[in-house]
Amino acid sequence: MVVDFGSQTTQLILRRIREIGIYCEVISYHQIMDKIKELQPKAIIFSGGPSSAFHRFSPKVDKKVFDIKIPILGICYGMQIICEQLKGKVKKTYKREFGKAYIRALKKSALFKDNIKLNSKTQVWMSHGDEVVKVPTGFEIIARSDNNIAAIAHTKKKIYGLQFHPEVIHTLKGKQLIRNFILDIAKIKQEWKINDFLQEQVSLIKNKVGQNKVICGLSGGVDSSVVAALINKAIGNQLTCIFVDHGLLRKYEEKEVVHNFKKYTNAKIVYVNAKNIFMQKLKGIKDPERKRKIIGREFIKIFEREAKKIKNAKFLAQGTLYPDVIESKKIQGSKLKVIKSHHNVGGLPKKLNLKLLEPLRELFKDEVRSLGKELNLPDNIIQRHPFPGPGLAIRIPGEITANKIRILKNADYIYINELKKYKLI
């Protein structure tokens, strides 16, 4: 379980843990005791954050967490909050460290194992303006940089702190340190596999949907394709995919999407040729924001119209991913605060009165691609070059015309094929 204090690299921590083969979730610091009871984690990692641990209103955790015998690793602000709450001392530093730095291991530790040799220098990545100047009772300093305490440990309680960021690639031994904490200190088994996730989701979808029907908006992108393939595996012809062609897709894309999906999934697809509708609505419009809103509005109207034709549909499937969920609930102050509404989170058209089905909401993009492989989707689907919802419209300055679309489609086609030719994608 990763406790988020507002760090920009919280998602990286999760990804490093998932790469090891361990399932992990992110929570807000103020939820910690409730989430421990709910999730029963075998280890806890405190993320970094922009606050100062010694400020009165800075994010803090319930101090009970330090007495429940779950291994804890604090990263940057996470280490500082451990020290501040356990009666150590943190203060503003006059030697701020940002970027590449070097640390020296002072003592042997299970956290370092054989990855960081005693008294040898190791490159890490720092990002802090405060420093720990006194460690709490029972803790020892196990590493220093040229300026500050870099790592601490309470071996008996299995509580550790790192002033640097092991989750970023610039910390050369960072992955190994996270691995040492998870596997050797917390002794968690590597039991999370994408195939297990697949089987679990198939069962969950079957139970949730029952005999009802599901609608899925198919764009041809990785997320919607994997969602549709997964749901199709679970409930077969109870799924109907709606593919709205707004005329702003890449060259041959509408044909490829329909052909590939029928070939590899047998899913039902409703193809809607709405090119003329979109061109008419976009005529004379030059402002890029207005164009984007028109495309979004018309897409929803057409999707709603087609969805209403499907009888007994009770669910709308969306390709929401874990980063979408995290970014829609960023930490600020003492509570979760929504800083933006992601297009996949809360985007359900109210008029349809459908329940949301988001089977990928616990996965990162690379895990979605792995799931696509498990579902036997070909590389030309799961490795598809990213493409935004408004399509080529966002790359056409001024008014959108048929001639501009034709030129851009051809240019994009040449560009993408050159990337493929030299194996750059």
d(CA 115, CA 122): 9
pLDDT at residue 323 in the model: 86
Residue whose entry in the numeric block shows the structure tokens 């109207």: 301
238 is written with which tokens?
Answer: 């109870």
The sign of the CA dihedral 367, 219, 249, 301 is negative
Any idea where the domains of the chain sit in the sequence?
2-185, 194-421
75 is written with which tokens?
Answer: 């990263």
pLDDT at residue 44 in the model: 98
Exactly one of 167, 253, 254, 367 is catalytic; which is it? Answer: 167
Exactly one of 76, 83, 216, 241 is catalytic; which is it? Answer: 76
CATH code for the domain defined by 2-185: 3.40.50.880
Model-level pTM greater than 0.85? no
pLDDT at residue 349 in the model: 54
Nearest to 184 by CA among 103, 123, 117, 114: 114
143 is written with which tokens?
Answer: 């590493």
Beta-strand relationship, 268-273 and 2-4: unpaired
Question: Is 165 designated active site?
Answer: yes
Q: What is the DSSP string of 392-409?
A: GGGGS-SS--HHHHHHHH
- Structurally, at CATH architecture level, domain 194-421 sits in 3-Layer(aba) Sandwich (3.40)
Question: Is 241 designated active site?
Answer: no
d(CA 193, CA 206): 21
pLDDT at residue 336 in the model: 41
Express each pLDDT in 160-200 by its tens digit: 999 999 999 999 999 999 999 999 999 999 999 999 999 99
pLDDT at residue 338 in the model: 42
273 residue type, one letter: N
Inter-CA distances, 316 with 211, 224, 276, 344, 362, Å = 14, 12, 26, 11, 17
Residue whose entry in the numeric block shows the structure tokens 């299995």: 158
pLDDT at residue 330 in the model: 53
Give the chain's residues under pLDDT 50.
Answer: 331-346
Q: Do domains 2-185 and 194-421 have the same CATH topology?
A: yes
Exactly one of 30, 154, 165, 246 is catalytic; which is it? Answer: 165
pLDDT at residue 247 in the model: 96
Question: Is 76 designated active site?
Answer: yes
